[in-house]
Amino acid sequence: MILHIDMDAFFAAIEQRDNPTLKNKPVIISGNSKRSVVATASYEARKFGIHSAMPVFQAKQKCSHIIIVPGNMKKYQTISKKIMEIISHFSPLMEQVSIDEAYVDIKGCERLFGSPEKIGQAIKKMIWNELSLTCSVGIAPVKFLAKIASDMNKPDGLTLIEPSRMKNFICSLPIQKVAGIGKSAMKQMRLLQIKTLGDINTYSLPILTQKFGKLGQRLLDLSNGLDASEVQTNYRRKSISSEITLAKDIFDFETIKQMILGRSQSVGRQLRKKKFVCENVFIKLKFSDFSYITRRKKLDAPICSSSAIFNEALSLYKKIQLKKRIRLVGVGVTALKDKSTPVQMQLLPDLDKPKEQWESVDTAVDLISEKFGCDIIKKASLNKRFKP
């Protein structure tokens, strides 16, 4: 059996815990600008229809007495580490998948801690006793069902899907609850009159592949209770990104270039701090009408230099024909590898890009910034004060 532990309104719950005046009140973690978005909403705020990624001005429209609290990521990361230490006490087979959730394979742990349900209750109790925070736990024979189960009785819930109940559960599970089902896939689902995951079994693999591509095979597997994904103890971040919501919609090239530079600097610092290199770079642009696009590029060789990330991100941006003003700019990297991992050497290295030199400069800047603060040294162009 596999457990999925998901903290309840994590950031907001921490702030409510640390500030008793916030308890039982609608709280969101965000900036106070109209351009900011909600990072986390307390359950009191969610009753008004407020959710993560919602613009703050919309949250204020839904709840005039909403309380906005600025986030403290260092505090949240410290508490996250303590939570993962608690969870790992029950099984060494733990996979942290975000700052506030993890999977646990409890194979062979029943002799020490009892039934899966008792283990789930023990984890909840220990997190509460040590950190005064609640979590919801889903327990199932496979990962994808464990995650769905953890969301069924929030907050402070525990849902167990026993092997004998799995088939009936799948047959009645709304198809939109399955991860990976986007808007376009849902259109096809409606055309095919697929309402539950069990309905997938009424179609053959060739038809599912024709309609959903690679997702078709996975959907057929899941509809039969098959999920080959295991709890990965050597969890590694899949991406690093940084984005900024602007104080006003922009269109001019130089200002957008400046924003891309700032985000590239942030991503590069995080990449080097983790001792990673990346093989893909992407940018994200959100427009004034809240639509957005992403563009990505696979690199010829891994990089971790902020300047190299900026050059690739800017190159992606230059290929976009802007028709609308931009409200958000994001830069990110994927396909992360340890910096020490051997890589294929380029047959004809680009002599115009002294990569090692820039990485040495970035490393020196990182050390100075860590000691004296991020604003002590920066690119000259970033001294142009464009307030987000």
**Do both 259 and 194 map to the same domain?**
no
Task: Assign 299 to helix, strand or coil.
Answer: strand
Q: Residue 230 — very low, low, confident or very high, per pLDDT cuts 50/70/90?
A: confident
Q: Report the pLDDT value the prediction gives residue 351, as an integer from 0 to 100.
A: 44
Q: Residue 196 — very low, low, confident or very high, per pLDDT cuts 50/70/90?
A: very high
**Do both 250 and 342 map to the same domain?**
yes
- Of the ranges 31-35, 73-77, 282-286, which one carries the lowest mean pLDDT score? 31-35
* 171 assigned to some structural domain: yes
* 374 assigned to some structural domain: yes
**Do both 297 and 374 map to the same domain?**
yes
Q: Report the pLDDT value the prediction gives residue 347, as an integer from 0 to 100.
A: 46
Q: Report the pLDDT value the prediction gives residue 232, as an integer from 0 to 100.
A: 83
DSSP 155-219: SS-EEE--GGGHHHHHHHSBGGGSTT--HHHHHHHHHTT--BGGGGGGS-HHHHHHHHTHHHHHH
Please give the helix or strand (H or E) that residue 102 lies within, else none.
strand 101-105
* 126 assigned to some structural domain: no
Q: Residue 5 — very low, low, confident or very high, per pLDDT cuts 50/70/90?
A: very high
Q: Report the pLDDT value the prediction gives residue 359, as an integer from 0 to 100.
A: 58
Tens-digit pLDDT profile for residues 101-149: 999 999 888 888 899 999 999 999 999 999 999 999 999 999 999 999 9
* 175 assigned to some structural domain: yes
* 228 assigned to some structural domain: no
Q: Report the pLDDT value the prediction gives residue 247, as an integer from 0 to 100.
A: 80
* 2 assigned to some structural domain: no
**Do both 243 and 213 map to the same domain?**
no
**Do both 257 and 304 map to the same domain?**
yes
Phi first, then psi: what are they for 243, rounded to 5°? -135, 160
Q: Report the pLDDT value the prediction gives residue 363, as an integer from 0 to 100.
A: 60
**Do both 304 and 203 map to the same domain?**
no
Q: Report the pLDDT value the prediction gives residue 339, as an integer from 0 to 100.
A: 76
Mean residue pLDDT across the chain = 86
- Of the ranges 27-36, 40-49, 302-311, which one carries the lowest mean pLDDT score? 27-36
Higher pLDDT, 142 or 381: 142
* 331 assigned to some structural domain: yes
**Do both 191 and 286 map to the same domain?**
no
**Do both 263 and 329 map to the same domain?**
yes
pTM above 0.95, yes or no: no
CA gap 342, 358 in Å, rounded: 20
**Do both 206 and 277 map to the same domain?**
no
Q: What is the CATH number of the domain that holds 312?
A: 3.30.1490.100
**Do both 212 and 244 map to the same domain?**
no
Structural domains counted in the chain: 2
Catalytic residue list: 101
Q: What is the CATH number of the domain that holds 188?
A: 1.10.150.20
Rounded average pLDDT over 64-75:
93
* 78 assigned to some structural domain: no
CA gap 353, 172 in Å, rounded: 57
Domain housing 265: 239-383
**Do both 256 and 379 map to the same domain?**
yes
Q: Residue 295 — very low, low, confident or very high, per pLDDT cuts 50/70/90?
A: very high
**Do both 249 and 273 map to the same domain?**
yes
- Of the ranges 86-90, 139-143, 353-357, which one carries the lowest mean pLDDT score? 353-357
Tens-digit pLDDT profile for residues 362-376: 665 555 555 555 555
Comparing CA positions, the residue from 26, 14, 29 lying closest to residue 61 is 26
Q: Report the pLDDT value the prediction gives residue 110, as an integer from 0 to 100.
A: 84
- Given a cut of 50, whether residue 14 has pLDDT beyond it is yes
Please answer whether residues 144 and 164 qualify as being in contact, where contact means their C-beta atoms are separated by less than 8 angstroms. no
